[in-house]
Structure 1
Amino acid sequence: MISHQASHQDISKHYKMPYTIQPGGYIDPTSSASSGPVEVDPSAPGSVMRYALGFETMANAIGGTWMVFFPQTFLSMLVNSSSDITPTAVTWTQVTGALVYALATPLILGIPNTRRGIESRAPTYYTLAAGEVGVVAVALYKAFVFGDDSGWSRNALLAASAVLAPTLAWRFYVLFGKPEWIGRYRETARKGQ
């Protein structure tokens, strides 16, 4: 074990490691050093993705604010009558708004062209796409099976699906059709290798 630690220390002297090696040779991915210097691939700088992440972050901030601070106004667009806006519905709208804020966090973390930023973009898109598939499926099911008796109007359920479907299509297009838009990098310390 001593020789194992010594070998990591010897390597660290010759190469600037992009992470912190802890006792036993374990890597600390949360250290500030783990997001060490990288060189962004000029042919895949991730610019399109960074703009998309910025736009979506702003949209989440606006939507989350509307849901948290003006839940009755938000709900009035979704329900058939104002009598459907119950205290429970208001509370769940505010909780959902808080979750919309939380979903902005991985979007924000993906904006910088750093190791962490670039590496977080695809998992963020996969995660959000999975959620959107679920929301669209539930909204369409409710719209076609229950219609206006679902608690939301049928038109609101279809509109929710119509709003999320292009976003979902965009995610799949980027992930499977234009992965270079996500961005690429190489470690600066290994540039010459």
Structure 2
Amino acid sequence: MMVSSRLTELKILFCVCISSEKATYQAQLQDISKHHKMPYTIQPGGYIDPTSSASSGPVEVDPSAPGSVMRYALGFETMANAIGGTWMVFFPQTFLSMLVNSPSDVTPTAVTWTQVTGALVYALATPLILGIPNTRRGIESRAPTYYTLAAGEVGVVAVALYKAFVFGDDSGWSRNALLAASAVLAPTLAWRFYVLFGKPEWIGRYRETVRKGQ
């Protein structure tokens, strides 16, 4: 009986300690929010909301790694995607005429798939645009964007080369078109690897700016 009573007391004491620590933690969070300007939104429990407008706000950029090269590259690639997507969506027959062996290969199915692919090219411009601003979210998104695009380019180059050397002109595209597609994407892929592994400082660096409230 005494053991049971003692265990009950220990449970009560444990609950009281936990409640006290939780209250102290919540008070500390409130103090941080009150006296500091945070670069992100803290939700109940201390969780950071990555979708808040504050999380994409300005930060203190490292002067030695401002990300200027990456920002220009992202802007150039955005324009290239816009031009390529427009060509594929609005002028699919002209686009396909450079790829196929004969005009008879430009079928309604091929036209539709070209337009759908053009829409995806437009969509791929979205992460490029989001990575241009020197904000917390923009800087952090640049490397994942390059990794994602590089993965897609590896797949496209591999398929194009396989089709070119195994099927040739019987693939639906001409062999020259398949080789040209690989030749166009290979330098872009090499650029991404060079930036990611050789010049990561070009991506940009930042630090949080936490300032005392006035």
Question: What percent of counterpart residues are identical?
Answer: 96
CA distance in 1: counterparts of 2:135 and 2:101, whole angstroms: 47
Q: Could you list the runs of 5+ residues in structure 2 that have no partner in the other structure?
A: 1-23
CA distance in 1: counterparts of 2:148 and 2:212, whole angstroms: 32
CA distance in 2: counterparts of 1:101 and 1:118, whole angstroms: 21
Deviation for aligned residue 1:66:
0.1
CA distance in 1: counterparts of 2:89 and 2:117, whole angstroms: 8
CA distance in 1: counterparts of 2:199 and 2:123, whole angstroms: 27
Deviation for aligned residue 1:191:
11
CA distance in 2: counterparts of 1:110 and 1:22, whole angstroms: 25
Query: Which one has a bigger Cα radius of gyration?
Result: 2
Give the secondary-structure state (helix, strand or coil) at the position aligned to 1:113: coil
Residues 82 and 36 (structure 1), Cα distance of their counterparts in 2 relative to 1, 3 Å cut: same
Query: Contact 1:47–1:181 (CA<8 Å) still a contact in 2?
Result: yes
Query: Contact 1:37–1:187 (CA<8 Å) still a contact in 2?
Result: no
Deviation for aligned residue 1:7:
2.0
How high is the TM-score relative to the length of structure 1?
Answer: 0.95
Residues 190 and 141 (structure 1), Cα distance of their counterparts in 2 relative to 1, 3 Å cut: farther
How high is the TM-score relative to the length of structure 2?
Answer: 0.86
CA distance in 1: counterparts of 2:213 and 2:46, whole angstroms: 25
CA distance in 1: counterparts of 2:99 and 2:36, whole angstroms: 58
Residues 192 and 41 (structure 1), Cα distance of their counterparts in 2 relative to 1, 3 Å cut: farther
Query: Contact 1:67–1:74 (CA<8 Å) still a contact in 2?
Result: yes
Query: Contact 2:37–2:213 (CA<8 Å) still a contact in 1?
Result: no
Name the structure 2 match of 1:137: 158
Deviation for aligned residue 1:192:
14
Deviation for aligned residue 1:190:
6.9
Residues 191 and 46 (structure 1), Cα distance of their counterparts in 2 relative to 1, 3 Å cut: farther
Give the secondary-structure state (helix, strand or coil) at the position aligned to 1:24: coil
CA distance in 1: counterparts of 2:73 and 2:110, whole angstroms: 31
**Aligned-residue CA RMSD in angstroms?**
2.1
Residues 75 and 161 (structure 1), Cα distance of their counterparts in 2 relative to 1, 3 Å cut: same
Residues 59 and 191 (structure 1), Cα distance of their counterparts in 2 relative to 1, 3 Å cut: farther
Name the structure 1 match of 2:43: 22
Name the structure 2 match of 1:64: 85
Deviation for aligned residue 1:27:
1.5
Deviation for aligned residue 1:20:
1.2
Of 24-33 and 154-163, the range deviating more from structure 2? 24-33
CA distance in 1: counterparts of 2:58 and 2:116, whole angstroms: 38
Deviation for aligned residue 1:16:
1.4
CA distance in 1: counterparts of 2:149 and 2:56, whole angstroms: 23
Query: Contact 2:35–2:212 (CA<8 Å) still a contact in 1?
Result: no
